[in-house]
Amino acid sequence: MAPLRISFLVRALSGHLPSNANLVRWGMKDDPTCPICQGKETTEHVLSSSKVSLSQGRYTWRHNRVLQYLAIAISDVKACLCDPRQRH
């Protein structure tokens, strides 16, 4: 997995993404409000709990992109396993 993806996952799981709520906590911003729905913009809110984003299909789009990425990764692994010339 690419280092930037690993970094994103670690920061997301530990609550250290630069959400508006975190930026306020870190003294970099004055307002923790989500610009889309006006709720408090926490990491959880951005990634999975904004009702407005859900109703606009934003999570569905992201979900589908993740599935596309996984399908490509699985296909690459399958090709490597099936082709002895690609094994290391």
Q: Residue 73: helix, strand or coil by DSSP?
A: helix
What pLDDT shows up at residue 86?
A: 59
Q: Counting every residue, how long is the chain?
A: 88
CB neighbours (10 Å) of residue 21?
Answer: 22
What pLDDT is recorded for position 29? 97
Q: Which residues of 34-66 are buried (b: 16+ CB within 10 A; e: fewer)?
A: beebeeebbbebbeeebeebeeeeeeeeeeeee
For the chain, the average pLDDT equals 87
The pLDDT tens digits for 23-60 are: 999 999 999 999 988 999 999 888 888 888 888 887 88
pLDDT of residue 49: 81
Residue 80 three-state SS: helix
Q: What is the pLDDT of residues 54-83, one digit of tens each?
A: 888 878 887 888 889 888 888 888 888 877
